[in-house]
């Protein structure tokens, strides 16, 4: 939720007219879509997001699986190891260019889903 809030704030500060927000946490999308649903420990961050989103003229939230955007997954892992609260890049960091090409081409990686088999 912090990353979503920081991203929305960045978009509002840059006056972006339209953005698409893809989140790999379906629970976050569900909470944003259902204003009656709230979780107390994230209520203030959630309220910030709900206040920031309408300031962007065209915004769409959607869920995507982590495997659908390898760039996002790469950047999230990179961010989890940094000391700064927020780090902005002028250019994509090394290691992400090949992933950008992969995402841009529309290629994907199959998601592994465990299958429970019940044998009698």
pLDDT digits over 47-90, tens only? 899 899 999 999 998 887 766 677 777 877 777 777 877 777 88
More confident residue, 44 or 69: 44
Which pLDDT belongs to residue 48?
92
Question: Which residues lie below 8 Å from residue 61, measured CB to CB, with a gap of 6+?
Answer: 21, 23, 29, 32, 33, 53
pLDDT digits over 86-118, tens only? 777 888 888 888 887 877 777 666 666 666 666
Q: Provide the H-helix boundaries in the chain.
A: 2-13, 26-33, 43-52, 70-80, 97-104
Which pLDDT belongs to residue 53?
94
Q: Is the overall model pTM greater than 0.75, yes or no?
A: no
Residue 10 — pLDDT band, cuts 50, 70, 90? Answer: very high
């Amino acid at each position: 939720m912090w990353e979503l809030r920081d991203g929305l704030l960045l978009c509002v500060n840059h006056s972006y007219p339209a953005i698409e927000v893809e989140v790999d946490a379906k629970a976050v999308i569900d909470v944003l879509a259902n204003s009656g649903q709230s979780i107390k420990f994230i209520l203030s961050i959630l309220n910030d997001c709900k206040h920031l989103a309408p300031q962007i003229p065209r915004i769409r939230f959607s869920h995507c699986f982590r495997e659908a955007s390898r760039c996002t997954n790469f950047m999230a892992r990179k961010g989890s190891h940094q000391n700064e609260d927020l780090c902005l890049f002028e250019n994509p960091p090394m290691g992400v260019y090949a992933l950008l090409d992969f995402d841009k081409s529309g290629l994907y990686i199959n998601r592994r889903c465990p299958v429970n088999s019940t044998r009698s």
